[in-house]
């Protein structure tokens, strides 16, 4: 049988591991949201730099084209960040699920150990009590004395 104190310590460790996994998952979700916002902002900047009829000079058109090219490159990099952030979130979600499973398993082990201790105590008490006819005679004798 396992030591209840040891099981309690292991349960607390699993609780901490679960909490850390949940915090890391939350952080990964925040990074994903930030990366998605960056892509949206870059898309807005690209839309704002689209050539329009108001552009009169060739230099302005050339500068706008260079700027749009750089924004496009930035968007590709930002999409890579989003992709990596999504993968990180998936990994953290799996880590959180695993930590929850481990924690639940430890809770079940602790409950099982408590039940075993209770059953042992009940067996010990039933072994100490006299049973059968001898037990009945002893009980009657003690009742007659009282």
pLDDT tens digits for 105-134?
999 988 998 898 889 888 888 888 766 555
Closest alpha carbon to 68 in 52, 97, 48? 48
Q: Hey, where are the domains in the chain?
A: 4-145
Residue 124 confidence (pLDDT): 87
Above 90 in pLDDT, residue 45? no
Tell me how many degrees the CA angle 8-14-19 measures, rounded to the nearest 5. Answer: 130
Fold of 4-145: Helix Hairpins (1.10.287)
Residue 53 confidence (pLDDT): 59
How many percent of the chain have pLDDT more than 70?
A: 79
DSSP state of 65: H
Distance from first CA to last CA of the chain, Å, rounded? 42
Q: Which run of H or E residues covers position 129?
A: none
Q: What is the pTM of this model?
A: 0.65
Residue 82 confidence (pLDDT): 94
**Residue position matching structure tokens 């108001």:** 54
Contact (Cβ atoms closer than 8 angstroms) between residue 92 and residue 21 = yes
């Amino acid at each position: 049988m396992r030591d209840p104190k040891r099981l309690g310590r292991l349960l607390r460790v699993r609780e901490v591991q679960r909490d850390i996994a949940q915090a890391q998952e939350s952080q990964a979700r925040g990074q994903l949201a930030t990366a998605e916002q960056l892509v949206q902002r870059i898309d807005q900047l690209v839309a704002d730099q689209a050539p329009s009829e108001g552009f009169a000079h060739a230099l302005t058109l050339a500068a706008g084209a260079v700027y749009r090219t750089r924004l496009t490159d930035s968007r590709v990099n930002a999409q890579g960040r989003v992709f990596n952030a999504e993968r990180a979130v998936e990994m953290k979600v799996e880590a959180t699920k695993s930590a929850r499973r481990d924690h639940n398993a430890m809770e079940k082990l602790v409950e099982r150990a408590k039940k075993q201790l209770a059953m042992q105590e009940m067996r010990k008490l039933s072994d100490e009590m006299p049973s059968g006819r001898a037990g009945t005679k002893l009980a009657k004798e003690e009742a007659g004395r009282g």
